[in-house]
Amino acid sequence: MKTAIIGLPMVGKTSLFTILTGVHQETRIGSTAVRTGVARVPDPRLEALAAIFQPPKVTHATVEYLDVPAISKESLRDGSYLASLRVVDAFAHVVRVFADETVPHEFGDVDPLRDIDNLETELILSDLVVVEKRLERVEKDRKKIKSADLDHEWELLHRCKELLEANTPLRQLALDPEGDRRLRGFQFLSQKPMLYVMNLGEDDAPRLHEKEAEFRAALPARPRTAVTAVCGKIEAELAELSPGEAQDLMASYGLAEPGLNRIISATYALLGLMSFLTAGETEVRAWTVPAGSHAVKAAGAIHTDFEKKFIRAEVVNWQALVDHRGYAGVREKGLLRLEGKDYVVKDGDVLVIRHG
Ligand SMILES: Nc1nc2c(ncn2[C@@H]2O[C@H](COP(=O)(O)OP(=O)(O)OP(=O)(O)O)[C@@H](O)[C@H]2O)c(=O)[nH]1
Ligand SMILES: [Mg+2]
């Protein structure tokens, strides 16, 4: 699962990417310079479990980020740039809110809602080109052959065209599994989940949560979008400090946790992912599965053999395991449940897979 950090020029994309992932070097997709890096999903549950099990190894879930060049009319005409965007699962759009005379703004002045609108329109126009091209092809073919398959595709693409022409992202489209399968191959940009990362100035930092709520209210309520506010400048300072000093700096702005944590958690949720956990003397670990996964799928995330030879899962909530100080405690209290392969795993479940 990959999330591309996108946005207008000079809004703080690379700065945020570097603090999120610690990655500095560049790679290339075609002629496009791209940085890829991995961020650990913050998870206090792992620390709590590690305090009990004392394993030598604690493994977090991760999300992968791409730092791509700025979005513009020109870059969106570049095939290799488009390709680097098409392959990702979600976007994090960094939006400039900070005022800074020394950093030029693409459109001259700072106007976050306009910038969001502009970028969304660019994604929409880029999808419209793809839809129109494909429609032309399908219409030609329909004159030659009668096929229910082509009729379905034509209908679906027409729905897309109407939405896009009304300047609406394809994220809005409610699809049945069949339609979803048909559209997936197009890798439409405006269909991808979108996290708006509002990059505030330092003066707004003490009112970070209010600002975030304001932006959330001002943006159209759309499926599969989320909003989070950070102050990039402060995040950059935090990254340089020891944990103790970082706590002090955050406290001075009234912040409970680094903004990065909220970006990462929001990305994870937007991707439709959740974590289940495993805990033992050798390792405490978070595993990533799509939200709503069954126990047998969760077993498969650990090992394909566990999925094939799945018998049962022992399940307990992480908090119960911490409160009763390990497996002996939860067993004694009767809190350890045995579940079958169709059990829907919940975020924060700790599993032991019994397999043949
Ligand atoms: N005041 C302020 N300046 C910032 C912030 N984030 C980035 N900058 C400055 O803005 C300039 C661009 O930062 P980058 O992180 O390279 O921005 P970018 O979006 O990756 O830029 P491009 O890749 O060139 O489009 C640098 O001079 C940064 O120091 C911020 O949160 N506050
Ligand atoms: Mg950059």
Report the pLDDT value the prediction gives residue 46, as an integer from 0 to 100.
97
- The gap from C-alpha 59 to its chain's centroid, in whole angstroms, comes to 19
Burial of residue 72 (number of CB atoms within 10 Å: 0-12, 13-18, 19+)? middle
Indicate whether residue 105 lines ligand 1 (CB < 6 A): no
Give which of 140, 130, 3, 157 is closest to 68, Cα–Cα. 3
Tokens of 145: 């052959």
Count of other CB atoms within 10 angstroms of residue 34: 18
Tokens of 307: 């999925």
Gap from CA of 208 to ligand 2 centroid (Å): 24
Which atom belonging to ligand 1 lies closest to the Cα atom of 202? 32
pLDDT of 259 over the 90 cut: no
pLDDT of 108 over the 80 cut: yes
Count of other CB atoms within 10 angstroms of residue 208: 22
Pocket test for ligand 1, best of 20, 103, 263 (most atoms within 8 A of CB): 103
Q: How confident is the model at residue 185 (pLDDT cuts 50, 70, 90)?
A: very high
Pocket test for ligand 1, best of 6, 10, 204 (most atoms within 8 A of CB): 10
Report which of residues 106 and 52 the model is more confident about: 52
Give which of 25, 44, 45, 94 is closest to 267, Cα–Cα. 94
Asked whether 76 and 126 are in contact (CB, 8 A), the reply is: yes
CA distance 92 to 82: 16
The b/e string for 224-244 (b: 16+ C-beta within 10 A; e otherwise) is bbbbbbbbbbbbeebeeeeee
CA distance 285 to 40: 12
Report the pLDDT value the prediction gives residue 136, as an integer from 0 to 100.
96
Which atom belonging to ligand 1 lies closest to the Cα atom of 99? 1
Tokens of 122: 């660019």
Q: Is 317 helix (H, G, I), strand (E, B) or coil?
A: strand
CA distance 198 to 208: 10
Query: Where are the domains positioned within the chain?
Result: 2-42+60-108+192-270, 121-190, 292-355
Tell the residue number behind the tokens 């959740």, with chain if given.
274
CA distance 192 to 205: 29
CA distance 300 to 355: 11
CATH superfamily of 121-190: Obg-related GTPase Ych/YyaF, coiled-coil domain (1.10.150.300)
- Percentage of the chain beyond pLDDT 90 is 78
Class of domain 292-355: alpha beta
Q: Is 343 helix (H, G, I), strand (E, B) or coil?
A: coil
Gap from CA of 171 to ligand 2 centroid (Å): 26
Asked whether 212 and 198 are in contact (CB, 8 A), the reply is: yes
Name the closest-CA residue to atom 1, ligand 1.
Answer: 100
Burial of residue 277 (number of CB atoms within 10 Å: 0-12, 13-18, 19+)? buried
For residue range 145-177, list pLDDT tens digits in order.
Answer: 999 999 999 999 999 999 999 999 999 999 999
Report the pLDDT value the prediction gives residue 253, as an integer from 0 to 100.
87
Q: What is the pTM of this model?
A: 0.91
Q: Is 339 helix (H, G, I), strand (E, B) or coil?
A: strand
Gap from CA of 96 to ligand 1 centroid (Å): 9
Asked whether 41 and 263 are in contact (CB, 8 A), the reply is: no
Report the pLDDT value the prediction gives residue 337, as an integer from 0 to 100.
95
Report the pLDDT value the prediction gives residue 232, as an integer from 0 to 100.
92
Report the pLDDT value the prediction gives residue 73, as an integer from 0 to 100.
83
Give CATH for domain 2-42+60-108+192-270: 3.40.50.300
Question: Alpha-carbon torsion 66, 93, 190, 130, what sign?
Answer: negative
